[in-house]
Amino acid sequence: MTDFCLPYLAFTLLLFLIFVRLARTAAQRGILLAGCLLLGLVPLQGISLALQVRTYIGDLSISSLVLLSWATLCRFGLPGVSPRDRLASLALFAGLAVLLYPAALGLSYSDPYQLGFEARPMLLVLGLLSLVLILQRSWLGALALVLATLAFTLRLNASENYWDYLIDPYLALYSLGALLSAAVRWRLARPTRKLA
């Protein structure tokens, strides 16, 4: 059941967030979301459109689904996160990406992906990291970590590896790109020193 539900949720949220700018009122956004829900069920070549898209983009991590869900709820009036919380969340997922993907790309001899199969040490470290985020009131990153860990514990995804619940290439690229963009904006906004 989850093999269908999670890709279907990912398809619905992504499609909604792509087209949400076309909807000006909450009622229009509600209609758009319902339309995205129904569109995911449309059969194409024997399988639903949502599962068809999944064959091209793969599965999103639970963390991505949490962030997409949060962004969707914000379009319906949920208060957005503070800039500090957003920066902490971006730094968290960028850090996870830097740990995982260099080895996946063959740039390192270590294999952190193997740790995800015997995940107890990772669960301990990320549990402590979640606690730090909660104490710092960085709710979004903590929520993503907690729900990804819960989903891994319940095996809600097809994968047996904890990393696949925590991060995916799209979240990694988004986090790294958004952090780089924030750093460039911060650098450009700093007043330049006058030469003496």
Domain residue spans of the chain: 1-58, 61-196
**pLDDT, tens digit, for every residue of 86-126?**
999 999 999 999 998 887 777 767 888 888 898 889 999 99
Strand 47-48 relative to strand 43-44: parallel, antiparallel, unpaired? antiparallel
Residue 32: pLDDT band by 50, 70, 90 thresholds?
very high
Q: What is the pLDDT of residues 37-47, one digit of tens each?
A: 999 999 988 88
Tokens coding 42: 């449309």
Confidence of residue 196 (pLDDT cuts 50, 70, 90): very low
3-state SS assignment for residue 95: helix
Quote the pTM value. 0.88
